[in-house]
Amino acid sequence: MKNINFMLIFALILLQTSVFAQSEPVDSTGLPGDNFSLEGALEMFKISSSPEDFEKRLNEEDNDVNNLDLNEDGEIDYIRVEDKMEGNVHVLILQVPVNENEVQDIAVIEIEKTGEETAILQIEGDEDLYGPEVYAEPFEAEAEMDGKGGPSADIAVYRIVVNVWVWPSVRYIYAPNYVVWVSPYGWRVYPTWWRPWRPHPWRWHYNRCTRYHAHYRVVHTHRVVNAHRVYAPHRRTSVTVKQRTTTVGVKKTKNGAVVTKKTTTRGAVKNPDGNVKAGKKTTTTKTAVKKGDGTVKAGKRTTTETKVQGQNKQGTRKTTTTTKAGKKGNTAGVKKTKTTTTTKRKKN
């Protein structure tokens, strides 16, 4: 009976943990990595029989892993997989051909064989898409009851690192006759079965990916360090993607104001017809201050700078400032908006 009660309590704890992880409110970071599930990629690798099979699963719409459109052509990008091997280390690089000249790494699965039948892995999101030090790894929960016993005994649940040696894909790449996988596909060269689809809204994509969160977690501790040294010289980045980066920062000032700043930079690009599209930088700053009388004063400032290349370079700066104040619980409040547009034109 004691063992049955223990198992029931353990199952309830796991269920609550899973539900909490899926229902916890989150928001988009504004970075491209929001549209590629690191946890989902690990699940695809776990159930795959080989790197080739893994690449296919990443690019199947029904698996809801990939929602990337890095070149902004209105269609999902094809993810290619390339393996780099050195001794007991494998690094599976997931990358997108952005155009005929550029490739952008999305993430890398770093694997190390640590014993005859043991191996560990992590997937690291590329810094240009996820920001620094974003990793995901498989985990299992282990329960431990204190020595007191009784109906009110405390149970501690620990998440432990998983031995991935039992995964078919891991055993495949460590087989003696394994031939290192390099995807034969690239820019405008795709498998016949693949058909791109239009990107889904971020919230829709996130909700579809929550099924992968029960067995994989995002962490900020790098465990597979030897594999990363193998990967570093092979990392590839795209200038096009860097020109469309978004940074998000949150800070609290001395007077208690909470300031959120989001900056999106889009570099000037040349269209197929030869015309140059303007580069644009948009910065949105939100400020919320709670006063002693319960009034919350919220401010929003958006600054957009547009630059056009050419003989007569023109720059436009548009600033919109919105201030809203109201009592706590009163969402109507008082709202004031002011817009200023300034245009500078370079003399001939």
The token pair at 123 is: 């997937």
Q: What is the pTM of this model?
A: 0.67
Are 111 and 120 within 8 A, CB to CB?
Answer: yes
Q: Residue with structure tokens 């990443």? A: 58
| ∠ CA 175-177-181, rounded to 5° | 85
The token pair at 314 is: 């023109």
Per-residue pLDDT of 62-84, as tens digits, reads 999 999 999 999 999 999 999 99
Band the pLDDT of 27: cuts 50, 70, 90.
confident
Long-range residue pairs from 172-180, CB within 8 A, at least 24 positions apart, any chain: 172/49, 172/50, 172/51, 173/50, 173/51, 173/83, 173/85, 173/90, 173/111, 174/90, 174/113, 174/119, 180/83, 180/84, 180/85
Per-residue pLDDT of 259-303, as tens digits, reads 555 555 554 444 444 444 444 555 565 565 555 555 555 666 666
Backbone angles phi, psi at 198, to 5 degrees: -75, 140
| ∠ CA 105-91-161, rounded to 5° | 110
**What is the arrangement of strands in the sheet containing 279-290, beginning at the earlier edge strand?**
244-252, 258-266, 279-290, 295-308, 314-327, 334-345
Amino acid at 128: D
